[in-house]
Structure 1
Amino acid sequence: MKTLSNKFYALFCSVFFLFAGFGLFLNSAGVKLAQMGVNSTAIGALNAAFFVGAALSAVAAHRVVSGVGHIRAFSVFGAVFAMAALGHMMTDKLWAWGVLRVGLGFCYYSLLMIVESWFAERSAAGERARVLAFYNVVYYVAFTVGIALLSLKPSSNDIFTLAAILVMAAMLPVALTRMSAPQLPPRQRISIPRLMAIAPLALVGSFVGGLLMNGFFTMASVFLLQQGFGVRQISFYLMVAMITGFAVQLPVARFSDRYGRRNAILACAVIAAVGAVAGLVLMLLDVGGVWAQYGVSGFFGVGLFTLYALSVARANDQLPNEMNTVEVSRSLLFSYGMGSLLAPLLLGAVMQQAQRYGFYTFFAVGAALLAWVAWRQQVVPEAKRSVHVAMSGDTGPLMADLDPRNNEGVMRPFDEVAAQQYADELAQEEADKPA
């Protein structure tokens, strides 16, 4: 098997440090606030500020990079990230923390966009599947490392300092690279209403995936602190979810290739809902053992971590095989991002109103609603399914350009009318099948 060229290893080092810093900061963000006695609604709002920055990055970062170049822009965003992280140590005012977190989110997703633009341009067509697969492995390993650092019980100041160090470490391989700066691809439009008509389950699945995944990462630590668990136990709880989520990527992909994305999304949603209900039952029975909670976390890892990839695969199934799907993938990523933005806001409010039962109730209801939507959809015939590709929604917007499903055949631009006609044909074929 042909190995990846050395030019990519430097970039993978950068994204490793970025993901590790992101994993540490995202999962520890609520710990200090909960220890300060801040209510769940306010914690959710502050966590949502990070994803507000992500949304602003999608609008403005492109212009900064185009103006000063990739390497300079990377240094600027890395420096501002470090300043924003360290700025938390200088004040306890919540409004100031909110502003700083907007800056962190803006810089983090801008940094990812810069690195991913190199991956997208420098990857040959036959190389993209390996690049994307390795990128996925780096994401899970680095994110888990970031969570593992939390188990060392660092102080809040140490967390902010370490997050800044990790991001500054990510600047080094990029600053020393000899690769010429790539061209940023043109910004593509996002057509959410049309996508809803063509692939409703894909759009709903990506939104609920963002809602549940980043609700889990931003508020699980707050919930567990309220239940009396220590920081090390919280770290292990999150690591169990990451490890099981990584372990099921290939089995879920094979299941969806054989039985369809609709059935895979339905199964994953049911598993997540069962896990949440089990968590509620344990609380009602006053079973407070940490190992029981680790079991619930395992259910979440199995049920939640493949929802975005399955949603993208479902959308690809409902488009002609020769049609480029980058625009659709970016629309789904936008939907995932909106779910991520709303997740801590909604979950914080639910946890504030329903107290200790709110966390698992939120996941039970969200997963059940997704299962209901999936149940009402039709299965795409096996002969017309695309290939499943494992990918995470917690990446930058340019990873869609690496999707190997766009490598084969004659690629024609996404066409809304042709895509809708094809989706209608699939629906008619399914309707014409004998009962």
Structure 2
Amino acid sequence: MHQIWKSFRALYFASLMMLIGSGLLSTYLALRLAEDQVDGLWVGALMAANYFGLVLGGKLGHRLIARVGHIRAYATCAGIVGAAVLCHGMTDLLPVWLFLRLLVGLGMMCQYMVIESWLNEQADAKQRGVVFSLYMIASYLGLVLGQLILVVHPELGPELLMLVAMCFALCLVPVAMTRRIHPAPLRPAPMDPKFFIKRVPQSLIAIMGAGLLIGAFYGLAPLYASQQGLSTELVGLYMGCCIFAGLLAQWPLGWLSDRYDRPLLIRIFALLLGVAALPLAIFPHVPVEILFVAGFLCALLQFCIYPLAVAFANDHIEGERRVSLTAMLLVTYGIGASIGPLLAGVLMKVLGSQMLYAFFSVTSLILVWRIRPNAVTNLHQVDDAPLQHVAMPDSMSSSPLVAALDPRVDEQVVQDQMMEGTEPSDEPEPELEPEIAPEFGGPQADTKP
């Protein structure tokens, strides 16, 4: 462990600084708009623009890295992100802020791709799981520390924007000073939406639901907490506790995921989330103690859905397609995360701040309705499924290349797929039997006992 930390500490530090800046910026913008009494629709739109930028960056990042190399691409995007952050303090025009948030998301996705491809290429196959775990810890820790800065510095002045820009400036240092040989240029991994929609439709539904939930949470939870009467310090503490809950959930979740049916777990966690969100959804105002306890519990449950859905999808996709699968999951998650803040923002504007948790509850119950464990056909389940669960950061802090760090994925296949940008196989695909039963559009098949 110590040797791995020593080998990759520069990349971990860069990730940490990026996520501190990103987490602080999201909460700061929500609180600034709340202070100016701007309705939740604009707050949701800003987060939607950020996720749209992340999805767009997943496509453009490959081209930029292929053209100028990893270090130049990383430095370019860090500079653009830092400038975009500072521009928020130069104007109060919300349409301009939307464009700036899109730029931040686009640039950060390219930075994620540089770091993750670097980790993947230089990580030994036997150490890949540990390398990935430390990367995930750095990502979540950065998001938590970004919120806790508000506890120390609650004034919503330009100093916080300067601090965010400073984080993106500091994340440049370890990458720019590295003496390691940077990885070979990347090309986009092939993505076949029709194939994945037919093969893993329930997984994509779960990923979409996770995007709706987590996108709305990151964008609107600070606004909700502010409208509950919490001070800036308590809002930062509330957000930090909720994100920390997501980190705490990952390891016990892995134990459960490896021992119980994953679609069943998704339904159970979604049902529990729908119930846990009800107190905050029903009452317009709740005591601070209840707010923190219920918020922590809801966050713990909602951050479980995404990694379970990823593991469930990987159970039904061959190893050579898993980088492409992760790209498809990112796009699906990004669509949900772009829509979620907008829908929840409209509800909060019309019916009050408690509608954020009403949105969580309704979305969770829809997942309970749509995810059917007894409808999984298993006709395309990989031989060693269920695969060992791998804790995953949410898509706010990863790129499609994060799949390459998965120790379950063959290293040479991943490198060939990312380098060549070709389909994994030229052989015609067999007729697909999806993971769901006829009532959802698939043919009849034996169901899982």
Superposition pairs for residues 137-176 of structure 1, below 5 Å? 137-152=137-152, 153-176=154-177
Q: Deviations over 1:289-329 (max 9, x none)?
A: 11101111122222111222111110121235x55422112
CA contact (8 A) 1:23 1:146 kept: yes
CA separation of 1:424/1:220 partners in 2, compared to 1, >3 Å: closer, same or farther?
closer
CA contact (8 A) 2:274 2:362 kept: yes
Superposition pairs for residues 301-320 of structure 1, below 5 Å? 301-320=299-318
Residue 188 of structure 2 aligns to a residue whose secondary structure is: coil
Could you tell me how far apart the structure 2 residues matched to 1:172 and 1:36 are?
Answer: 36
Q: Counterpart in 1 of 2:248?
A: 247
| TM-score, length-scaled by structure 1 | 0.91
* Structure 1 residue identity aligned to 2:181: S
Matched, 1:215 2:231: no
Q: Which structure's residues are more often helix, by fraction?
A: 1
Could you tell me how far apart the structure 1 residues matched to 2:428 and 2:200 are?
Answer: 12
Superposition pairs for residues 383-398 of structure 1, below 5 Å? 384-392=385-393, 393-394=395-396, 395-398=398-401
Q: Deviations over 1:263-295 (max 9, x none)?
A: 211121112111211212443xx5x21110111
* Structure 2 residue identity aligned to 1:399: V
CA contact (8 A) 1:276 1:361 kept: yes
CA contact (8 A) 1:30 1:219 kept: yes
Shift of 1:186: 2.3
CA separation of 1:21/1:345 partners in 2, compared to 1, >3 Å: closer, same or farther?
same
Could you tell me how far apart the structure 2 residues matched to 1:377 and 1:315 are?
Answer: 16
* Structure 1 residue identity aligned to 2:432: Q
Shift of 1:203: 0.6
Could you tell me how far apart the structure 1 residues matched to 2:263 and 2:435 are?
Answer: 14
- Equivalenced residue count is 429
CA contact (8 A) 1:148 1:235 kept: yes
CA contact (8 A) 1:268 1:302 kept: no
Greater mean deviation of Cα atoms: 41-50 or 75-84 = 41-50
Q: Counterpart in 2 of 1:328?
A: 325
Superposition pairs for residues 191-270 of structure 1, below 5 Å? 191-270=192-271
Could you tell me how far apart the structure 2 residues matched to 1:199 and 1:291 are?
Answer: 41
Instruction: Tell me the percent identity.
Output: 28
| TM-score, length-scaled by structure 2 | 0.88
Could you tell me how far apart the structure 1 residues matched to 2:311 and 2:64 are?
Answer: 32
Superposition pairs for residues 110-125 of structure 1, below 5 Å? 110-125=110-125
RMSD: 2.7
Shift of 1:408: 8.8
Shift of 1:23: 1.1
Q: Counterpart in 2 of 1:351?
A: 348
* Structure 1 residue identity aligned to 2:25: F
Shift of 1:182: 0.8
CA contact (8 A) 2:116 2:401 kept: yes
Structure 2, gaps ≥5 residues long = 418-423, 438-442
Shift of 1:10: 0.8
Q: Deviations over 1:36-77 (max 9, x none)?
A: 121211222222222222232123222222222221222211
CA separation of 1:31/1:45 partners in 2, compared to 1, >3 Å: closer, same or farther?
same
CA separation of 1:126/1:383 partners in 2, compared to 1, >3 Å: closer, same or farther?
closer
Structure 1, gaps ≥5 residues long = none
Q: Counterpart in 2 of 1:420?
A: 432
CA separation of 1:296/1:67 partners in 2, compared to 1, >3 Å: closer, same or farther?
same
* Structure 1 residue identity aligned to 2:341: P
Q: Counterpart in 2 of 1:8?
A: 8
Could you tell me how far apart the structure 2 residues matched to 1:271 and 1:337 are?
Answer: 24
Q: Select which of 319, 334, 339 maps to 2:336.
A: 339
CA contact (8 A) 2:59 2:188 kept: no
Q: Counterpart in 2 of 1:362?
A: 359
Matched, 1:401 2:415: no
Residue 155 of structure 1 aligns to a residue whose secondary structure is: coil
Residue 91 of structure 1 aligns to a residue whose secondary structure is: coil
Could you tell me how far apart the structure 1 residues matched to 2:237 and 2:263 are?
Answer: 32
Q: Counterpart in 2 of 1:58?
A: 58
Could you tell me how far apart the structure 1 residues matched to 2:227 and 2:166 are?
Answer: 30
* Structure 1 residue identity aligned to 2:402: M
